[in-house]
Amino acid sequence: MPDPGVFAIQAGEDDAGKRLDVVIAAKLPDFSRSAAADLIRQQAVTINGRPAKASTTVRLGDRIHGNRPPRPVPSYGPEPIGLDILFEDEALLVINKPPGLVVHPAPGHFTGTLVNALLHHCPELTQSDADGRPGIVHRLDKDTSGTLVVAKTGTALLNLASQFKSRRIDKTYLALVHGVPKAASATIRLPIGRHPVDRQRMSTHSRHGREAVSHWRLCETFAGAALLEVDLETGRTHQIRVHLAASGHAVVGDALYGPGKKAGTGKDILKGASRQMLHAWRLGFAHPLSGDPMAFESPLPADMAGLIDVLRDQGKAAGR
């Protein structure tokens, strides 16, 4: 069985003339440039069989080989964190995730996560991969709220993972966005990949972007804002946030992809949003054991519902 830490890169035309650490970071989306440079300094990377420096200029046809160290498995345990459970049986658990809750342990968040809560509620949860994410089939960003399904057995985990991979899961979100779209609905087809400079961001201009498709419908309009219903055909990282920002209608409160506090619509109420106003409203899938269709909805969290109510009241006061 091949070592998952070993990688091999054949330099193409897009790589020629670039630094070695830049090329490695671009080819390995989960690897930062600084991590690539550290690996090179440890002499764990060669070009055409010879050690190289991070600043070495890559040439067309160069053969780059390296060996990444195994990722440390985070240490974590059960914590008595309350869960808003929408459904539970012997195979799965469906919850309404609140905003602000990190899904799984990672550097900087080894406690207080959904996984910690799940281990307290279901100590027997199956670990889904070597990184230790018990039962986690999909995830929501920390500041995105809404419906999330968790597998309680290995069989359920494999089945649900297959449904997500084959795009048989129905995912509908509600997004409060800056500006009012001119159309009643639209489809956004823009590939998404890691941002070429800022590794914390995703971008529709990445050279290694993957297919991403989002469908949105206009639900309600306000002064300088709109509520959209968004269906995901694919499930790329930050997909809705990136696609809507690229279309000129960034999610309200999105510090990573939004217009920022000094720009935007000029509406103080929108600038005051403490997080991205994005909610995983509906989730539909086939039960992993029976095959029966299932669908669940999570009500809007108080902060998002309250902001929408304020926008509605402002519209009524203005006679709209």
- Domains of the chain, start order: 6-67 (3.10.290.10), 85-165 (3.30.2350.10), 170-284+306-317 (3.30.2350.10)
Q: Percent of the chain, pLDDT > 90? A: 71
C-alpha 244/C-alpha 256 separation (Å) is 12
Residue 265 has pLDDT above 50, yes or no: no
Tokens matching residue 277: 């106003």
> Could you identify the residue written with the tokens 């269906």?
231
130 pLDDT above the threshold of 60: no
Closest CA to 242 of 231, 258, 226: 258
Active site residue 141: yes
Mean pLDDT of all residues belonging to the chain: 89
- Report how far apart, in Å, the C-alpha atoms of 251 and of each of 51, 200, 247, 277 are: 46, 17, 11, 6
**24-47: average pLDDT:** 86
Distance CA 222, CA 121 (A): 41
| Cβ 212 vs Cβ 236: under 8 Å | yes
Mean pLDDT of 179-189: 97
Q: What is the pLDDT of residue 299?
A: 97
21-27, long-range: CB < 8 A, 24+ apart: 21/54, 21/55, 23/58, 23/64, 24/64, 24/66, 25/199, 26/194, 26/196, 26/207, 26/208, 27/208
Name the catalytic one among 15, 21, 141, 254.
141
The rounded distance, in Å, linking the Cα atoms of 294 and 303 is 28
Residue carrying the six token digits 């550097």: 107
* 0.85 surpassed by pTM: no
Do residues 216 and 186 make contact, with C-beta atoms less than 8 angstroms apart?
yes
In Å, what is the CA distance from 75 to each residue of 69, 102, 116?
18, 16, 11
Task: Average the pLDDT over 273-280 and give the result.
Answer: 96
58 touches 16 (CB < 8 A): yes
Residue-level pLDDT at 126: 63
pLDDT, mean of residues 13-26: 91
Distances (CA, A) of 101 to 141, 148, 255: 8, 12, 17
Give the tens place of pLDDT for each residue, 39-49: 999 999 999 99
pLDDT at 2 over 50: no
DSSP assignment of 135-169, as one string?
Answer: TBSS---TT-EEEEEEESSHHHHHHHHHHHHTT--
* Nearest in space to 212 (alpha carbons), one of 236, 229, 196: 236
Which is it for strands 293-297 and 170-178: parallel, antiparallel or unpaired? unpaired
Task: For residue 286, count CB atoms less than 10 angstroms from its CB and return exposed for 0-12, middle for 13-18, buried for 19 or more.
Answer: middle
